[in-house]
A and B are shown apart, each in its own frame.
Chain A
Amino acid sequence: MAILALKSRPTEITPDADKSGPIELVRYVCAIGAMQSAAAIPRVVPITHCGPGCADKQYMNLAFYNGFQGSGYGGGPVVPSTNASQREVIFGGADRLRELIDSSQTVLDADLFVVLTGCIPDLVGDDVGSVVRDFQKKGVPIVYAETGGFRGNNFTGHEAVTQAIIEQYLGPWDGVREQGLVNLWSLLPYQNTFWRGDLEEIKRLLESIGLKVNVLFGPDSAGLGEWRSIPRAQFNLVLSPWLGLSTAKLLEARYDQPYLHIPVLPIGARQSGEFLRKVAEFAGLAAGPVEQVIAREETRYYNYIDGFTDFYSEYWWGLPARFAVIGDSAYNLALTKFLVTQLGLIPAKQIVTEDPPVEHREAIREQFRAIDHDVSVEIEFAEDSYLIHDAIRKADFGHKPPIIFGTTWERDLVKEMKGSLIEVGFPASYEVVLSRSYVGYRGALSLLERIYSTVVSHSA
């Protein structure tokens, strides 16, 4: 009898690159870092089932030494944890978790609890689902997501948390769709230092053309009320290269809800206009009023740009011409698009650092290859800062000092290269970020301010 699998493996299997080595200067956190995604929803409190130190590390990295964003209502130091130790490893941690959920309900006022597991319970095989279901049956608003570190990083964890809420908290739905209501799936809360301001600007743009937005995370979200109305929305908008796509597909399968995927986060007038036109077309909005909105925004935008051009043309001798971006695919793509198509800068090196799932990598590459009609960029995927810095050193920045869009990890490198650094991603430990945004019409102006303040003050 021939023994053949239903699907045969490729005859030549190239083993995956050995990624088991250490990573120098990390650019993301563990999957359980998605506790901050839960905390990013107003009045939602994560509960962590993990070893001592896990939750604190995620919070300090993501929300403190990254723009000093703060913990929020239920994040950071508020988060209850089982502090699993030897006893829970050997005997299982289900009882301890049950006790913790019970007590958390007594002392914490939350609209929803999200249990996130760390490596310990996922390894020993705690049946966390059964513990949480017991509470769900009693009517406690609670869901769980398995986020052991070996499942992936905080991007994976974020999808797990989002999908846990959809699958465990939102029931079946067969109502009438609300035209003009859109669910926004975009930047990763806290990981992206500017997510709060950015989501606010995206929401503002979408509302300006007459849509109603479930922004779902951050200060501009109405909390669980928005989440409950997810199935009612006309469509899902995935505004990122890949994050949120699997959630949109889940919603499509679950509620037969269509989605629109726009990989490029809009920065500046050109991209923002294109973005609004695409969304409007998908939503079936009349073009006239949308064009009016775009015209109004552009009038304001170009008024400022007009002032800026005095500086931009006079200072030509001192401004960098070539740039590199080291960061998550979402911001990397958005920045590269803006800097190339709207400022005329030359891309020298683009490194994508969040370890996107293999199945999305080619699509991300394609986006960069089509940056402009005459500019194509070949990106690298890398997570280890030693390799990243090595690649930046070897990149061709021409005769002028480079401008690097990166993180705090690039401080020393940029000093060494006598260039300028704009901290745009995790970790941004020398930036205090509240509502600042770098996207849309308004964010683009802030970004220009930041870039050129950094550059002109370089020699001061």
Chain B
Amino acid sequence: MARQLKQIAIYGKGGIGKSTTTSNISAALAEAGYKVMQFGADPKADSTNTLRGGEYIPSVLDLLAERRRVDAYEAIFEGFGGIYCVEAGGPQPGVGCAGRGIITAVELLKQQRVFEELNIDIVIYDVLGDVVCGGFAVPVREGIAEHVFTVSSSDFMAIYAANNLFRGIERFSNSGGALLGGIIANSINTEFQREIIDDFAARTDTPIVQYVPRSLTVTQAELSGRTTIEAAPHSAQADVYRQLAKRIAEHADSKVPTPLNPQQLREWSARWADHLVAAERAEAERNREVA
């Protein structure tokens, strides 16, 4: 009997740490006994690298480029903790249609009933930063992921991207698509950063699932081609990811997001910019006094 499959999509601005966070969530879930698949929905095809010692795997579209028909199992590779790793892949930068590539890869796995056959508990789609066209919205359509989480730091550009994503989800949620599970607040080390992201979360009525501090442990693990869970299982950072994974595994109720409109977002960021300038001035003041 097939288990109840949970499908989750993780979005966020490029370079914000989506793949790192996603791979650590997958690793922590696998450690906790779940059967996990991580699906990299990015033409760069590097979402799952740290689950496999930094090794690249051929993507679904690499295989499709060779032959008209692909057996989905030829594109599934087992990584750390038995996690099934799949990369959608895509065309070379600047050519073809990456969005169509994502659609094709997702369809291929669905058609061949891979999730059912492999008895997977949780599928996590790691989707590239900007939802530039219809193809990159496929993971949040009806019948695919039910919950979307967004990875964001306290940087304004990351928050803009998150807000944009909320608008996308709002649109899809009207037509039966995925709902918003919450924000994974990444690289949050100072009180100030936390205040910014908290304020954005409050304004948009969005829960923060977990605060993840920036940590050298993560960088070191990445450089060795591993997740933090694998490379530094006893570190405090690994526990942060475990907690995050647990919350995601238990997460049941997502909701329609309430994004800020462009005017509200501008005013909101201007106010925080003023705070920031004032804080920096005070800091400079203090430094002069010390000198």
Contact = CB atoms under 8 A, between A and B. Distances in A.
Interface string A343-363: 000000000000000100000
Contacts of B135: 125
Given A5-B73, A7-B71, A358-B69, A125 B133 contact: yes
Contact of B176 (A4, A16, A133): A133
A124 B76 contact: no
B77 A124 contact: no
B53 interface: yes
Contacts of B79: 1
A134 B175 CA distance: 7
B199 interface: no
Contacts of A15: 66-67
B79 to A, nearest CB: 8
A1 B53 CA distance: 7
B52 A124 contact: no
Contacts of B43: none
A8 interface: yes
A295 interface: no
Contacts of A5: 57-58, 73-77
A7 B78 CA distance: 11
B99 A125 contact: yes
A133 B134 contact: no
B137 A125 contact: yes
A220 to B, nearest CB: 33
A176 interface: no
A16 B69 CA distance: 10
Contacts of B177: 127, 130
A6 B134 contact: no
B141 A130 contact: yes
A460 interface: no
A5 B78 CA distance: 7
A13 B137 CA distance: 33
A107 interface: no
Interface in B78-118: 78-79, 84, 97, 99-100, 103
B194 to A, nearest CB: 36
Contacts of A87: none
B67 A16 contact: yes
B100 A4 contact: no
A253 to B, nearest CB: 10
B138 interface: yes
A127 B77 contact: no
Contacts of A7: 71, 73-74, 76
Nearest to A359: B69
Interface in A18-44: none
Contacts of B57: 3, 5
B55 A6 contact: no
Main secondary structure of the interface of B (DSSP, over half): loop
A126 B134 contact: yes
Given A6-B78, A125-B103, A133 B142 contact: yes
A77 interface: no
B80 to A, nearest CB: 8
B68 interface: yes
A399 interface: no
A109 B23 CA distance: 53
A2 B57 CA distance: 11
A180 interface: no
Nearest to B76: A6
Contacts of A9: 63, 74
A340 to B, nearest CB: 33
Nearest to B113: A253
Contacts of B156: none
A358 B68 CA distance: 10
B100 A123 contact: yes
A125 B134 contact: yes
Contacts of B268: none
A268 to B, nearest CB: 37
Interface in B27-69: 52-53, 55, 57-58, 63, 66-69
B160 interface: no
A130 B99 contact: no
Contacts of A6: 73-74, 76-78, 84
Given A7-B74, A123-B97, A129-B141, A1 B52 contact: yes
Nearest to A127: B141
B100 A125 contact: yes
Contacts of A358: 68-69
B134 A127 contact: yes
Contacts of B138: 125
Contacts of A3: 52, 55, 57, 77
16 contacts: A1-B52, A1-B53, A1-B55, A4-B77, A5-B75, A6-B78, A7-B71, A7-B74, A8-B74, A15-B67, A92-B134, A124-B133, A124-B134, A125-B135, A130-B142, A133-B176
Interface of A: 1, 3-9, 13, 15-16, 92, 122-127, 129-131, 133-134, 358
Given A16-B67, A123-B97, 13 more contacts: A5-B75, A6-B78, A6-B84, A7-B73, A122-B103, A123-B100, A125-B135, A129-B141, A130-B175, A130-B176, A130-B177, A131-B175, A133-B176
* Pairs of residues from A and B, 6 with the lowest C-beta to C-beta distance, nearest first: A125-B134, A130-B175, A7-B73, A6-B73, A125-B135, A6-B76
